Amino acid sequence: MRKLGRNEPCWCGSGKKYKACHCAFDNKLEGYFYQGALVPPREIIKNQEQIQAIRDSAKINIAVLDYVSRNIRAGITTEQIDRWVYEKTTQCGAIPAPLHYEGFPKSVCTSINEEVCHGIPSDHVVLKEGDIINVDVSTNYKGYFSDSSRMFCIGQVSPEKKRLVDITKESIQVGLEQVKPWGFLGDMGQAIHDFARKNGYSVVREIGGHGIGLEFHEEPWVSYVSKKGTEMMMVPGMIFTIEPMINMGTDEIFVDRENGWTIYTADAMPSAQWEIQVLVTEEGYEILSY
């Protein structure tokens, strides 16, 4: 990395002089680097202007999920959810990020019961009493990305499924408590994994969260079975998702052979997922979308 002069403009694009911006940050990070920490690349450190633009995107993301929350019920199809997400997102001047993303055919992921994630909305899938469903909304507003997902219980669901949904939601809070600058993503990953296991559940290993903001999926890849003190260091200006997939039975999964997208649990037991998007701040964290 080229050393910047103290009076040169900062590499983050803030327009401020380096000495008044990321100079102290770089010195601190360099110290950790020489101690062997995996430090984040500059491309994923956001400046204040970018953070504000991502907050604006996240507001739309939340509004779309709120709309789904108010309207989801037994008897509708997942195709209907897709239409709501497309319409609400575009009405706000944004684009649903999943649409045509690496060939994904729809505007949202809808994953029911034993579907772990990346369920594809369809005319043929009707929500019925007792289902649990994850609705995963990702938003591109003026080129800035946000991503979050929620679980919905359709009518009366079994106590076992309800508990899975609730514990998975609680696991996000448990993970969040570990999010602070100069800590490690593994601190968060292990906290979630330990919490899920303590409650009798398993955590999906192969699929994780991701950095986000300037792209839909950025570095780092975020595991929820990682170990304390490992993985990338969390630093102010970093944005990533916390989105563990927690299974009632085995952690083993497989991919739908026909559509190439949808992930299922190997034992057909239910899986739940909640997703939030967080910014690491000087003090701790800020939740951008949920």
Out of 138, 178, 190, 226, the residue judged to bind ligand MF3 by CB under 6 A: 138
In the bound state with Co ion, the residue whose beta carbon lies nearer, of 22 and 220, is: 220
> Which entry of Co ion, ligand MF3, none binds 104, CB below 5 to 8 A by partner kind?
ligand MF3
**255 close to 283: Cβ distance less than 8 angstroms:** no
CA distance 5 to 17: 9
Out of 98, 119, 175, 181, the residue judged to bind ligand MF3 by CB under 6 A: 98
- Per-residue string for binding with Co ion, 6-45, x by CB under 5 A? ----------------------------------------
**CA separation (Å) from 85 to 64, 92, 95, 142?**
6, 11, 10, 17
The neighbour count for residue 63, using CB atoms within 10 Å, is 17
Out of 32, 33, 101, 290, the residue judged to bind ligand MF3 by CB under 6 A: 101
Report in angstroms how near the CB of residue 168 gets to Co ion at its nearest.
15
**279 close to 285: Cβ distance less than 8 angstroms:** yes
Q: CA nearest 185: which of 7, 30, 11, 37?
A: 37
In the bound state with Co ion, the residue whose beta carbon lies nearer, of 241 and 262, is: 241
Out of 118, 150, 161, 193, the residue judged to bind ligand MF3 by CB under 6 A: 118
Question: Half-sphere exposure of 146 toward its Cβ, with a 13 Å CA cutoff?
Answer: 32
- Coil/strand/helix, residue 174: helix
Report in angstroms how near the CB of residue 11 gets to ligand MF3 at its nearest.
28
Q: Does 241 bind Co ion (CB under 5 A)?
A: yes
> Which entry of ligand MF3, Co ion, none binds 118, CB below 5 to 8 A by partner kind?
ligand MF3
- Read off the tokens for 287: 């939740």
Stretch that binds Co ion, among 127-135, 144-152, 155-163, 264-272 (CB under 5 A): 144-152
123-153: burial string, b at 16+ Cβ within 10 Å, e else: eebebeeebbbbbbbbbbbeebbbbbbbbbb
Q: Which residues bind Co ion (CB under 5 A)?
A: 147, 241
Q: Which residues bind ligand MF3 (CB under 6 A)?
A: 98, 101, 104, 109, 118, 136, 138, 147
